[in-house]
Amino acid sequence: MKIIFLDNDGVICLQKNWGSRFKKQHAIDGWKDLPDWKRPTYDLFDNFDRKAIKTLNQIISDSDAEIVVSSDWRLKASIEDIGGYYLEQGIIKAPIDYTRVITEFDYPDNFPFYRSMLSEQNRSLEIKDWLSRNDVTHWVAIDDMDMRSNGRKWGLDNFVWTPNSLEGIKQTGKKQEILNYLL
């Protein structure tokens, strides 16, 4: 099985999309009174960038990889609901799973813990945890947080960093960088 561990914000949901959920919420009568769990899923999340989705779809077609969501969006909706949202937004495959939430209390003994890198370290461990529980031949993690190994023990070897939140995954060269891990 080939896996893409996918972050959303800064990867396929880009800076100009941030906040687009509020427009959708305003379109619904009485939206202000609805708690998050009563809102339709499309209404909870910002739109994805059309060109970023096109890039992602090309990667999926070329590699036949599956998506596992590592983004914090996984805390807001079920995998079924987020799957529906992915399809509605034009992604050709719904994600098959979420990574499991890990906190600093779950860190292995003698873990090289840095408070300033807490989010990066957690997400990196969450991805390693998913890999340890599944049969994976090829994988890559994509994120706008820097989880490169670069000599850091907790970092990820198969990692593509998208530091430009205006460009995300559609930045020149990123598609090939990602495919190199999947083909």
Question: Looking at 10, 83, 95, 168, which residue binds Mg ion (CB under 5 A)?
Answer: 10
Number of helices (H), then strands (E), in the chain? 6, 5
Question: Looking at 9, 43, 46, 126, which residue binds Mg ion (CB under 5 A)?
Answer: 9
User: Cα–Cα distance between 31 and 153 in angstroms, integer?
Assistant: 46
Q: How far is the CB of 143 from Mg ion (least distance, A)?
A: 6
Binding status of residue 167 toward Mg ion by CB under 5 A: no
Reading the block at residue 175, the tokens are 């598609």
User: Cα–Cα distance between 95 and 6 in angstroms, integer?
Assistant: 9
Nearest Cα residue to 141 out of 150, 19, 126: 126
Q: Say if CB 153 and CB 117 are below 8 A apart.
A: no
37 or 101: CB nearest Mg ion? 101
CB-side neighbour CA atoms (13 Å) of 51 = 12
Q: How far is the CB of 31 from Mg ion (least distance, A)?
A: 25
Question: Looking at 7, 43, 46, 49, which residue binds Mg ion (CB under 5 A)?
Answer: 7
10 or 95: CB nearest Mg ion? 10
Window of 8-16, 77-85, 120-128, 133-141 that interacts with Mg ion by CB under 5 A: 8-16
Binding status of residue 144 toward Mg ion by CB under 5 A: yes
7 or 126: CB nearest Mg ion? 7
Binding status of residue 49 toward Mg ion by CB under 5 A: no
Cα–Cα separations (whole angstroms), residue 176 to 39, 42, 47, 60, 92: 37, 30, 24, 12, 19
Reading the block at residue 10, the tokens are 């800064």
User: Bridge-partner residues for 143, per DSSP?
Assistant: 161
34 or 148: CB nearest Mg ion? 148
* Contact footprint for Mg ion (CB under 5 A): 7, 9-10, 144
